Amino acid sequence: MPGYFVLFVDINDHDRYAEYGRAVPPTYARYGGRMAVRGPIVEVIEGALDVRADTRLVVLEFESVERARAWWTSPDYQRVRELRAPPVADARGFLVDGIDLSGDAGRPG
C-alpha cells in the first residue's frame, strides 16, 4: 500500500526556503518517493484550517509508510531538513497510510 508524507508549511524566508526546495528531491528519490502535490493552499472550503498566503501543502508518495518513515529518519534528510528549520519556516508533518483503490475506484471515502 502506498504511504504518504504530508507537510503543511508556513514559509517565513522564501530565499532560504528555496535552498531546501533544491536540496530535498534527491533525498526522497533515493527512497522511491515522488512529489504528488506541492503548492499554496488556495482556499479552505470546509472546516477550519489556519492558513496564510505563504502556507504550502506538500505531499510525497512512497511505496509504503515504512519507506516514507525510512526517508524521514535518514541522516541525509535530517541534514536537509535543517535548511527549513525555524525561523525559515514553521511546519507540521505527518505520515498517512494509503489504501488500495483497485476495486474501489470512484467510491467516496
Domain ranges, ordered by start, for the chain: 3-97
Task: Return the closest-CA partner of residue 56 out of 80, 37, 39.
Answer: 39
Give the pLDDT band (50/70/90) at residue 99: confident
Question: Under a CB-based contact definition with an 8 Å cutoff, are residues 73 and 27 in contact?
Answer: no
| Whether the predicted pLDDT of 38 surpasses 60 | yes
The identity of residue 64, as a single letter, is: S
Q: What is the mean pLDDT of residues 38-49?
A: 93
Residue with more model confidence, 90 or 108: 90
Q: Specify which residues 96 forms β-bridges with.
A: 4
Q: What is the predicted pLDDT for the residue at 100?
A: 79
| Whether the predicted pLDDT of 104 surpasses 80 | no
| % of the chain surpassing 70 pLDDT | 94
pTM of the model: 0.88
Q: What is the mean pLDDT of residues 30-53?
A: 94
Q: Which residues contact 59 (CB under 8 A, 6 or more apart)?
A: 4, 5, 6, 7, 35, 36, 37, 38
Topology classification of domain 3-97 = Alpha-Beta Plaits (3.30.70)
Strand order in the sheet with 34-40: 34-40, 55-62, 3-11, 89-97
